Amino acid sequence: MFVYLSRHYLTYNINNMEKTLVLLKPSCVQRQLIGEVLNRFERRGLRIAGMKMMQLSDEILREHYAHLVNRPFFPSLAASMQASPVVALALEGVDAVQVVRAMAGPTNGREAAPGTIRGDYSMSNQQNIVHASDSTSNAEIELKRFFRDDEILDYTIGTFAFIYGDGEANR
Ligand code: UDP
Ligand code: MG
């Protein structure tokens, strides 16, 4: 018989926990895939540090997609993002930004590999289910854009010692 012993000896000595912003877009909400997509992040071992449903304003969209406001598809992108509420998530984990980007897959769902969120649920370059921050610096900016400080909750999940190996994570 195998028995898990108490692992209070774990040392968390690498300060590499990150938070990243995910938006479950109207293409996710309207197709009633919120639970399915959220489940993937939970199963992976990411901690949900913040979560809320919101209807995006013109102002927040112009800021969030500032790199795209002058592109011809911006009006249709904005309309697609305002077609219904979105769910904003703050997800935490070691290397969370890169891990979540890899889970999302490339922008165009038709080019995304099966097994990625876009590759499993999207046939579109626009209606591609999720937004995910593309760098740690953008993640910090984007989290502040969508969450007040008191909406990001610092709690520990009980399975933490079984998500990371000894010394891999610092909370
Ligand atoms: N988008 C679009 N048409 C394009 C490129 C992008 O409608 O030709 C939309 C798409 O929904 C994408 C979002 O604009 O997710 C932001 O574009 P970005 O290049 O930042 O892609 P992402 O980081 O979401 O993969
Ligand atoms: Mg982007």
Here the CATH number for the domain that contains residue 85 is 3.30.70.141
pLDDT score at 142: 98
Tokens of 93: 């984990």
> Residue 81's domain spans which residues?
18-155
> Does the CB atom of residue 125 touch ligand 1 within 6 A?
yes
What is the Cα–Cα distance from 63 to 23, expressed in whole angstroms?
15
In a domain, 129, yes or no: yes
Q: How far is the CA of 79 from the centre of ligand 1 (A)?
A: 13
How many structural domains comprise the chain? 1
In a domain, 6, yes or no: no
In a domain, 77, yes or no: yes
Q: Of 8, 64, 67, 131, which one is the catalytic site residue?
A: 131
In a domain, 166, yes or no: no
Q: How far is the CA of 84 from the centre of ligand 1 (A)?
A: 18
Q: How far is the CA of 77 from the centre of ligand 1 (A)?
A: 8
In a domain, 83, yes or no: yes
Q: Are the CB atoms for 89 and 50 separated by under 8 Å?
A: yes
What is the Cα–Cα distance from 88 to 25, expressed in whole angstroms?
9
> Does the CB atom of residue 128 touch ligand 1 within 6 A?
yes
pLDDT score at 5: 45
> Does the CB atom of residue 79 touch ligand 1 within 6 A?
no
The closest of 30, 134, 6 to 83, measured between CA atoms, is 30
Tokens of 35: 């639970």
| Known active-site residue 131 | yes
Atom of ligand 1 nearest to the CA of 25: 11
Atom 10 in ligand 1: residue holding the nearest Cα:
126
Atom of ligand 1 nearest to the CA of 81: 11
In a domain, 146, yes or no: yes
In a domain, 74, yes or no: yes
In a domain, 168, yes or no: no
Q: What tens-digit pLDDT sequence spans the chain (171 residues)?
A: 343 444 444 444 346 799 999 999 999 999 999 999 999 999 999 999 999 999 999 999 999 999 999 999 999 999 999 999 999 999 999 999 999 999 999 999 999 999 999 999 999 999 999 999 999 999 999 999 999 999 999 999 999 999 999 989 876
The closest of 163, 161, 144 to 50, measured between CA atoms, is 144
